Structure 1
Amino acid sequence: MVDRGFELETRLRQREANDLKRALSPVDRVAERGYFAEPSGGNLPVLESEEALVFASNNYLGLTDDQRVQDAARQAAATVGTGAGASRLVTGDTLVHHDLERLLAETKRTERALTFSSGYAANVGTITALEPDVIFSDELNHASIIDASRLSDAEVVIYDHCDAGDLRAKLTARSERASESAPSAEAGSPAADESWLIVTDSVFSMDGTVAPLEAICSAAERFGAWVMVDEAHATGLYADGGGIVQSESLENRVHVQMGTLSKALASQGGYVAGSNELIELLVNDARSFVFSTGLTPPAAATASEALHVSRHSDAREKLWENVAHLRDGLEALGLDILGDSQILPVIIGDRRDALDLAAGLREREIVAPAIRPPTVPEGTSRIRIVPTAAHDEADIVTCLEAFQTVGNEVGLL
């Protein structure tokens, strides 16, 4: 009989042979330190006896175990419920959701905001609901942007990473094509009935680079395109708890601001902020919103309180102090550090060297996994180091000492 199934074992063996097989390694809590378990497959995990320092989390402000944030989650669960119970358009819409969306809109300096069950759902729902004819996308954009662009059926034009000049060139070339196909359109402009969307992360999670948003907005305005910015790794960390858009005062030039609640805001979910008309469209046409159960009330309350803490405490200041200390120390060791943000990619190059360095760090109770292809390009394997506001000076010193010791042992220093 013909077997039309899937060769799963073969595919897994191939991943293992290429050093690409990943496994789950549970931890007892989400914080700046914790007890980890070895990968156990489907068996019950067993926690190790030594506590490890975590320098790989997106819990940038260290708020996952903040008492104020946890109390907000508990109160929401007790008074509203543990889950929304249905789509927001059915019975899953609560005052907790609206309070969070009001605060997000205030922070992002927009008319309204809307929350989704995940950042992935926010990107997919928004881009497909907009139905752009052409999407101009940074080559290193997040997978959710890539997948959303595919699902939208738009023509996708990739421009070089953080290169506004290349974006302008791609816009110009596409405009010339549009003008040729629509002679009645104004010279140098896209066809009148064609919609263009420029999409970029603001902070890129694997490189730590920051998009040149002002230059991107200028290019967009030259050609009448809309701009969508994914602030997943920036929300809560910049001006008044906002992102790069707020730090550069570009709210009136960026049409769609997207972000997550699952990183600096210590919760789960995603959001989109923009005009009243944009949010009304998403409420009606974003399938990942319409056909998903609403964000849980405890998640919404958690994000609200975390955003309040971000705006009205010294958490952001502590984070940036730790970032500066760690970057200076790593560079003093002679390591190559990319980026301009809280994400500090230590470029190693060779895949095997990066894995050996990560393993050596782990033996010294520093959790900082290796990032290798296909997540990053060949020859750029790295250790992605991320401090949090909850790390103290001794933690940073311990991390740097481990890098120095292991770097010498594996021949990288």
Structure 2
Amino acid sequence: MTERGFDLADRVAARHETDSYHDVAPVDRVAERSYFAPDPGAGLPVLDGSQHLVFAGNNYLGLTQDSRVQDAAARAADTVGTGAGSSRLVAGDTLTHRDLELRLAEVTGMERALAFSSGYAANVGTVAALDPDVVFSDESTHESVVDGCRLTDAETVVYDHRDADDLRRRMADRADGDGTDDESWLVVTDSVFRLDGTVAPLAALCDVVETFGAWLMVDEAHATGLYVDGGGVVQREGLEDRVHVQMGTLSKALASQGGYVAGSETLVEHLVNVAPSFAFSTGLAPPSAAAASEALHLARHGECRDRLWSNVGQLRSGLESLGYEVCGDTQILPVVVGDGQDALALSEAIRDRGIVTHPVRPPTVPEGTSRIRLVPMATHSRADVEACIDAFREAGEAVGLL
């Protein structure tokens, strides 16, 4: 019989050969310290005997273990239920969702917000629902935006990373063509780029977008909750009136699950009716919505943001004093190593010293730019940060990078 299935064993073997295979390492808790287990496959995990400090995640404010956030989730589970049970268009739209969306709209300075079951769903659904003729995308914009474009007939124009002048040139070239006056144009960028820790030049992008009458969509996934009044970079730079679509996640600084889009009342009404990832997905679980709402309150009114930025400064200063090149302008601190094998060796040596980091190598980043993606949390103590710096010193010496 003709075989028309899939030879997955060869595909997995190829990933091993190219050093791009990944295991999934279970942990006992999502926090600044965790016990890890080797990937057990289909079996039950067995935790290591040693606890590790985690400097590799996106739990920026460390709120996943905050009792107030946990209590909010528990109350929602008890009162509303553990799951939405259906699409929000059917019977899954609860008061818990509406409370979260009111807070998100207030923080973002927009008329209304809409919660999705994931940040990925928010991006894919929004781009698909807007259905632009042309999308101008930063070359490092998240994959979910790329997938959203695939659901439309949009032509995608990629502009150079964080380069408003290149965007202007590409839009001007497009505007000079015949039949473009009736086109709808959407410019999409992250605010904080997850692998570089750099920030998009949002004010300059707004200038370009306004020149050509386009719309600007900003993905604040790695910024939500960390800046002014618990907002993102859009709020830090006072650009709420110039950004048409603000998107963010609830799964990073807000210690929960899901995503959101904030904008005009009309935008949200349109997304409710047209966005496929909203209409055809079960609504965000009420405990997740409640947890995110409480975490947003703490980000706005607590001290966690100040603690995070203090740890960021301490860690950057310590690593640079050792001679490491630390890039980025945010809580994401990429330690540039250069060679991919060196990055892997350094990460493994650091882990041997009780610190979990994230090595990033080609093809995820260009050749010669491999790095250790390092992220402190607000809940790390000063001693924890010093332990991380010491591990980088010892590991760097052990593998010959210092």
Q: Which of the five TM-score ranges fits, normalised by the shorter chain?
A: over 0.9
> In the alignment, residue 142 of structure 2 is paired with which amino acid?
H
Cα deviation, 1:331-361, whole Å, max 9, x if unaligned, reads: 1111111111100011111111111111111
1:201 aligned partner: 190
> In the alignment, residue 315 of structure 1 is paired with which amino acid?
C
> In the alignment, residue 35 of structure 2 is paired with which amino acid?
Y
- SS of the residue corresponding to residue 227 of structure 1 reads strand
Unaligned runs of 5+ in 2: none
Which stretch of the first structure deviates more once superposed, 258-267 or 323-332? Answer: 323-332
RMSD: 0.7
1:98 aligned partner: 98
Unaligned runs of 5+ in 1: 183-189
Cα deviation, 1:298-353, whole Å, max 9, x if unaligned, reads: 00000000000000011000000000110111111111111111000111111111
- SS of the residue corresponding to residue 306 of structure 1 reads helix
> In the alignment, residue 88 of structure 1 is paired with which amino acid?
R
1:324 aligned partner: 313
Which stretch of the first structure deviates more once superposed, 230-239 or 5-14? Answer: 5-14
Select which of 322, 326, 349 maps to 1:333. Answer: 322
**Matched pairs, number:** 402
- SS of the residue corresponding to residue 222 of structure 1 reads helix
2:394 aligned partner: 405
TM-score by length of 2: 0.99
Matched, 1:172 2:161: no
Matched residues in 2 for 1:342 and 1:87: separation? 35
2:157 aligned partner: 157
**Mapping of residues 5-404 of structure 1, within 5 Å:** 5-177=5-177, 181-182=178-179, 190-191=180-181, 193-404=182-393
> In the alignment, residue 348 of structure 1 is paired with which amino acid?
V
- The alpha carbon displacement at 1:126 in A equals 0.3
- SS of the residue corresponding to residue 176 of structure 2 reads helix
- The alpha carbon displacement at 1:369 in A equals 2.3
- The alpha carbon displacement at 1:3 in A equals 1.5
TM-score by length of 1: 0.96
- SS of the residue corresponding to residue 85 of structure 1 reads coil
- The alpha carbon displacement at 1:44 in A equals 1.2
Matched residues in 1 for 2:183 and 2:256: separation? 38
User: Deviating runs (4+, > 3 A) in structure 1?
Assistant: none
1:185 aligned partner: none
> In the alignment, residue 351 of structure 1 is paired with which amino acid?
G
Matched residues in 1 for 2:299 and 2:115: separation? 19
Cα deviation, 1:239-272, whole Å, max 9, x if unaligned, reads: 1000000000100000000000000000000000
- The alpha carbon displacement at 1:376 in A equals 1.5
Identity in percent = 64
Matched residues in 2 for 1:173 and 1:336: separation? 38
- SS of the residue corresponding to residue 96 of structure 2 reads helix
Cα deviation, 1:189-242, whole Å, max 9, x if unaligned, reads: x41x21000000000001101000000000000000100000000000001000
Cα deviation, 1:75-106, whole Å, max 9, x if unaligned, reads: 00001100000100100010000000000000
